[in-house]
Amino acid sequence: MRRAVMAMVAVAVGCYYLWGVRAAGNQFFWGYDLGGYYDYLGRGFAHGHLYVPIEPSPQLLALANPWDPAVDDSLKMQDMALYNGRYYLYHGAGPALILFAPWRLVTGHDLPESFALFLLCFGGFLFSCGALLRVLDLAAAKPGPLLLAAMLLALGICQCVPYLLNRVWVYEIAIGGGYFCVSSGVFFLARGIGSRRRAGWLAAAGLMFGLAIACRPHLGLAGAIAWVGADRLSAACAGVHCVSHSLCIDGRNGGRI
């Protein structure tokens, strides 16, 4: 029953996210070299360098101070850093590492940023649902189908993603990437509690929290909070198991007496 509830909620939320990103007027253009900032960064990574493949204006480079705020906006790229005659994207590189560069290497073309944001947000939602289900298992909690559906649905719509999908640009991609990485980090962390493969799950959690920092540096705080929470949850679960084990032993001894 729980799998059926999860599947139905996932389909509903996924359709809502897809509708949300398309309703804002964002189309998916496949098989092209696109002009999104993360498309540029992914293209640069795919070619083995950190700068984006945009040639700065010769007029800009000829200026004594090309960083002067008074310079004509038509000569420069907004939200990029000019260094040694190259443009660099100063937003987090995490989304380019996760999606855009691999897509470019596999297909030879750019991934539409609007579809990338949908993937990151929907993937983050699925990981957050997995983390919730794992915590419920650790707590031996078994909510009914309606309550479980409400909890999962709240994870999908009672947060920032519905607003994030209204506009797709470099800022939203970085935020969506951070959401995906934090959610997956929490999921792997929860899976590591009480698992025989604890080291592998915790290594995966550390990797994803590291990528979250690569998307949005302040998300390192979210990772620290998650680790502390997981440590306390693990201790609580260990205490519950010890009490249960003691009760079983007492019951057996009482039965013998």
Nearest to 99 by CA among 78, 128, 123, 80: 123
For residues 94 and 214, the answer to whether their CB atoms sit within 8 Å is yes
The neighbour count for residue 239, using CB atoms within 10 Å, is: 10
Q: What is the pLDDT of residue 237?
A: 53
- Straight-line distance from the first to the last Cα atom of the chain, in angstroms, rounded to the nearest whole number: 42
Q: What is the pLDDT of residue 253?
A: 41
Alpha carbons 58 and 75: distance in angstroms, whole number: 9
The dihedrals phi and psi of 83, each to the nearest 5 degrees, come to: -150, 125
Structure tokens at 28: 């998916």
Alpha carbons 251 and 133: distance in angstroms, whole number: 31
Alpha carbons 37 and 43: distance in angstroms, whole number: 10
Q: What is the pLDDT of residue 249?
A: 36
Alpha carbons 57 and 140: distance in angstroms, whole number: 62
Q: What is the pLDDT of residue 74?
A: 86
The dihedrals phi and psi of 96, each to the nearest 5 degrees, come to: -65, -35
Give mean pLDDT in consecutive 10-residue pieces for the chain, a chain of 257 residues: 93 95 85 90 94 92 90 88 92 94 95 95 96 91 94 94 91 95 93 86 92 91 76 56 37 41
* Type of residue at 161: V
